[in-house]
C-alpha cells in the first residue's frame, strides 16, 4: 500500500520521540543549560529531570509491523478493556465488532493505523471528559473518529477518545490519505482510550485484560 506524501512526512522523525515533544524538550533543555552555566545546581538537576521526563513521555519507538494478510494491529499501547459486538453505534448503523484499548500515562502515546486503507472520513465530536476506562467514555467523551476503507471495500473505524486528564487529541491525517498498517497518525497526550470498530465477521485475537503494543500486537483477523 502506498503512503500519501502527507502521511510519509508525518512519519519522518529526527529523534526517537514524537515531533509534538520537540518544542518542550528544546525549551526545557535550554533552561537546564542556563541554570548549569549560572551554577544553580539544584535547579539544574530539577530541570534535567523534567527534560528526561518529557523525553520519556513523548517517546516514539520503532515497531515491527506484522505483514500477515488480514491482520488488524492495535492503534495504541495499553490494556484491552472491552471486546464485543455492537448492533449499532454513533459511527455506524451496522453491526460491528468493537475492541477498546485503555492507555495509561505510562504508555507510549503515539497512535498507529490498524490496517492498510484509504481515509474516507475524519470526524470530530465534542464531549465530556469522563475517565477513559469507563464504558460511557466511548459514548460521551470528546472523540475523533477516522474511517478507513480497507480490503474488499469494508470499513474500519478507529476512534481517539479523550479522558479525565487527556484533553488533547492530535490527528495528522485527512480524507483521501492512503495509509499502511502501522503508520503513525496522531497521539493523545496523557493517556486515554482508543476504540476500534471492525466488520462483524472479524475474529478477535485478544481478550479483556491483555496488554497490547501499537503497530505490533494483532487485535483481530479479517476473513
Active site residue 192: yes
What gap in Å lies between CA 216 and CA 77, rounded to an integer?
9
Residues 140 and 208 in one domain: yes
Residues 104 and 188 in one domain: yes
| DSSP bridge pairs for 135 | none
Residues 41 and 106 in one domain: no
Q: Give a yes or no: residue 29 inside a domain.
A: yes
pLDDT value, residue 103: 92
Which tens digit of pLDDT belongs to each residue from 59-99? 999 999 999 999 999 999 999 999 999 987 888 888 999 99
What gap in Å lies between CA 78 and CA 55, rounded to an integer?
19
Strand order in the sheet with 218-221: 71-73, 218-221, 203-204
Q: What is the mean pLDDT of the chain?
A: 89
What gap in Å lies between CA 99 and CA 141, rounded to an integer?
17
Q: Give a yes or no: residue 125 inside a domain.
A: yes
Give 212's pLDDT tier (boundaries 50, 70, 90): very high
Which tens digit of pLDDT belongs to each residue from 157-189? 999 999 887 668 999 999 999 999 999 999 988
Give 58's pLDDT tier (boundaries 50, 70, 90): confident
Residues 104 and 175 in one domain: yes
According to DSSP, residue 137 is labeled H
Q: Give a yes or no: residue 208 inside a domain.
A: yes
pLDDT value, residue 15: 59
Q: Give a yes or no: residue 209 inside a domain.
A: yes
Read off the pTM: 0.84
Candidates 192, 207, 217, 223; catalytic one: 192
pLDDT greater than 50 at residue 123: yes
pLDDT value, residue 166: 62
Residues 73 and 129 in one domain: yes
b/e 150-170 (16+ beta carbons within 10 angstroms → b): beeeebbbbbbbbbbebeebb
Residues 216 and 150 in one domain: yes
Residues 35 and 52 in one domain: yes
CATH number for position 162: 2.70.70
- Asked if 219 and 69 count as a contact pair (C-beta separation under 8 A), the reply is no
pLDDT value, residue 90: 82
Q: Give a yes or no: residue 42 inside a domain.
A: yes
Residues 194 and 112 in one domain: yes
Pick the closest to residue 141 from 192, 176, 212 (CA basis).
192
Residues 49 and 85 in one domain: no
Domain ranges, residue 150: 66-221
Domain boundary among 57, 75, 109: 57
Residues 40 and 131 in one domain: no
pLDDT greater than 60 at residue 12: no
Q: Give a yes or no: residue 4 inside a domain.
A: no
Provide the angle, in degrees to the nearest 10, between the axes of the packed helices 41-57 and 22-37: 170
Q: Give a yes or no: residue 45 inside a domain.
A: yes
Question: Comparing 17 with 12, which gets the higher pLDDT?
Answer: 17
Residues 33 and 104 in one domain: no
Q: Give a yes or no: residue 144 inside a domain.
A: yes
- Report the number of distinct structural domains present in the chain: 2
What gap in Å lies between CA 47 and CA 62, rounded to an integer?
27
pLDDT value, residue 222: 95
Give 21's pLDDT tier (boundaries 50, 70, 90): confident
First vs last C-alpha separation in the chain: 19
Residues 217 and 188 in one domain: yes
Alpha carbon 200 to its chain's center = 22
Amino acid at each position: 500500500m502506498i503512503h500519501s506524501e502527507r502521511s510519509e512526512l508525518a512519519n519522518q522523525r529526527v529523534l526517537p520521540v514524537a515531533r509534538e515533544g520537540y518544542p518542550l524538550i528544546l525549551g526545557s533543555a535550554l533552561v537546564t543549560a542556563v541554570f548549569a552555566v549560572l551554577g544553580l545546581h539544584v535547579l539544574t538537576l530539577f530541570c534535567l529531570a523534567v527534560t528526561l521526563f518529557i523525553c520519556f513521555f513523548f517517546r516514539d519507538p520503532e515497531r515491527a509491523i506484522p505483514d500477515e494478510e488480514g491482520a488488524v494491529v492495535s492503534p495504541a499501547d495499553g490494556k484491552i478493556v472491552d471486546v464485543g459486538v455492537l448492533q449499532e453505534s454513533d459511527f455506524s448503523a451496522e453491526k460491528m465488532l468493537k475492541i477498546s484499548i485503555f492507555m495509561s500515562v505510562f504508555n507510549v502515546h503515539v497512535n498507529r493505523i490498524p490496517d492498510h486503507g484509504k481515509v474516507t472520513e475524519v470526524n470530530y465530536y465534542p464531549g465530556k471528559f469522563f475517565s477513559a476506562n469507563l464504558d460511557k467514555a466511548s459514548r460521551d467523551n470528546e472523540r475523533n473518529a477516522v474511517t478507513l476503507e480497507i480490503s474488499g471495500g469494508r470499513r474500519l473505524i478507529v476512534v481517539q477518545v479523550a479522558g479525565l486528564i487527556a484533553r488533547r487529541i492530535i490527528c495528522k491525517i485527512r480524507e483521501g490519505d492512503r495509509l499502511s498498517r502501522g503508520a503513525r497518525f496522531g497521539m493523545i497526550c496523557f493517556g486515554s482510550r482508543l476504540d476500534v470498530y471492525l466488520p462483524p465477521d472479524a475474529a478477535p485475537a485478544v481478550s479483556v485484560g491483555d496488554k497490547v503494543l501499537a503497530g505490533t500486537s494483532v487485535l483481530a483477523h479479517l476473513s
